[in-house]
Amino acid sequence: MDTTRRTLLRGLAAAPLAAAAGGLLVPETALAAAGRQKVERVTGPEGGPTYAEVIRQLNERAAGELGRRQGLWRVPLATLLDSPPERTGRRITRVSYPTAALRPPARRIPRLAHGFQWHPDDFLTPNWRPQGITTNYDAVGGRPARRVLIVSWDAHKAARPEGTRLSVVEIASSGEAGYRHVLLAEPVLDGEKGPNPSFRPIHTHAGAVAWYRNLLYVAESAQGRRGLRVFDVDNIFGVRTDAASQGRFGFEDGRYSADGYAYVIPQVAAYQDVDQDVGQEDGDAFTYSQVALDRSGSTHRLVVSEYRGGGSRPRPRIARFDLDPSTGLPARHTSSVPLVYTGPKTVQGAVSVNGTYYVTTSHSAKGNGQLHRWRARPRTWEFPPGIEDVSYDARDDVLWTLCEYAKGDQEAGEDLSVYNTRYVYGMKL
């Protein structure tokens, strides 16, 4: 995505931000990386209107008769949650570990407080893989009455034209998980007969998500646009879903569609790394592979971690960005250096709780994943292959994580998955 670096919100001047790494249990010099991690706010595509301006026009259209004729509605998140779920995931009560050729786990995880298996269509599809996870505890803190998760999926094979999807999940008291899929969208002006407020699909790995207030942060790891995309879950749009919607996205042929999906969530901003010219192969460019939320201190922070892979590449780092409680956006003038993670390089998610880090690492489709408690009473637990993002929920002291593989699901050059691991786990600490 080519973007300009302009003001995100009216009245706020654009300014570099740097990651804050607080709550250290050992001297910072022992774990600090060289240099500071900085990002800048982005408000729209290069040469186009701001996201805020296009969303304003979409909302105006959605509120009138024209929007109803063209199939565009604004849908509050509560309305989406109160509607019948599109699909239901089955409750599970234990972690199902692989056997035979796979390395046996040395220390299995503690008991599950919650857990579910996706609906069979999502549990087995080769077209999507779940990646990131966040909860409404992240969003509002305290003890929300409803237990809501948002999970991001990476598009594979036939799903790639659809862009990036999320699942909005509610865990019922029975343990079943009702959910709906929604697509992420970039607001643009478009149209065959002149500019109309529209949107287009977003193609990103979406390796992790973090929900804070009404904002959803999605990790963007692609070279040239490394950073965080920001979406507004209070401004969801509903569109038509009939047969004519298939294969269409945004405003086409006089109507709004999202390739058969009923809902889209618009991007409202981005935070781009200022070192876009530094190649990843140089070992210096920070990769925004994952993002999580730390609510455990008086200052809430985004925790951003990177996947580095094996070999001779430098060790992965973890950075923390202070959040402004009045806006939910990264605070101005935060300044510190990332921490160097001393465990395995294949980090898939990291979150900090009262200065203790919980880090997930994967070991391909043929090796068990791991959850590491880092720096405070270090410990490692084994998971099935394909472990991904991690999020902390203080309601019942639970770490949420998930695994990505379906049996036989692989891309060219990947190890073949011989075991279904596509479950979501809420692990009691």
User: What are the structure tokens assigned to 32, written together?
Assistant: 């600090």
Q: Is the pLDDT of residue 66 over 90?
A: yes
pLDDT tier, 3 (very low <50, low <70, confident <90, very high otherwise) = very low
**Other CB atoms within 10 A of residue 366 CB:** 15
Tens of pLDDT, residue by residue over 315-350, are 899 999 999 989 999 987 554 568 999 989 999 999
End-to-end CA distance of the chain: 40
The residue-averaged pLDDT of 51-56 equals 96
How does the average pLDDT of the chain come out, rounded?
Answer: 86
Tens of pLDDT, residue by residue over 157-199, are 999 999 999 999 999 999 999 999 999 999 999 866 568 999 9
pLDDT tier, 18 (very low <50, low <70, confident <90, very high otherwise) = very low
Q: With contact defined as beta carbons under 8 Å apart, do 131 and 401 qualify?
A: no
pLDDT tier, 112 (very low <50, low <70, confident <90, very high otherwise) = very high
Q: What percent of the chain has pLDDT over 70?
A: 85
Q: Is the pLDDT of residue 15 over 70?
A: no
Please report the pLDDT score of residue 14 as a whole number: 34
Burial letters 171-191, b for 16+ CB under 10 A, else e: beeeeebbbbbbbbbbbbbbe
Tens of pLDDT, residue by residue over 139-156, are 999 999 999 999 999 999
Please report the pLDDT score of residue 274 as a whole number: 77
Burial letters 229-251, b for 16+ CB under 10 A, else e: bbbbbebbbbbbbeeebeebbbb
Please report the pLDDT score of residue 34 as a whole number: 52
3-class secondary-structure state, position 361: strand
* Residue 126 or residue 106, greater confidence: 126
Contacts of 341 (CB under 8 A, 6+ apart): 305, 315, 316, 317, 318, 347, 350, 357, 359, 374
Q: With contact defined as beta carbons under 8 Å apart, do 123 and 117 qualify?
A: yes
Q: What percent of the chain has pLDDT over 90?
A: 66
3-class secondary-structure state, position 121: helix
Tens of pLDDT, residue by residue over 192-246, are 656 899 999 999 999 999 999 999 999 999 887 889 999 999 999 999 999 888 8
Q: Is the pLDDT of residue 17 over 60?
A: no
User: What are the structure tokens assigned to 215, written together?
Assistant: 């904002």
The whole domain housing 203 covers 3-428
Tens of pLDDT, residue by residue over 379-427, are 899 899 999 999 999 999 999 999 999 998 888 888 888 889 999 999 9
Q: With contact defined as beta carbons under 8 Å apart, do 346 and 307 qualify?
A: yes
Q: With contact defined as beta carbons under 8 Å apart, do 282 and 314 qualify?
A: no
Q: Is the pLDDT of residue 116 over 70?
A: yes
Q: Please give the model's pTM, rounded to 2 decimal places.
A: 0.90
Please report the pLDDT score of residue 19 as a whole number: 43
Q: With contact defined as beta carbons under 8 Å apart, do 367 and 421 qualify?
A: no
Which of 43-52, 132-141, 304-313 shows the lowest mean pLDDT across its residues? 304-313
Domain count, the chain: 1
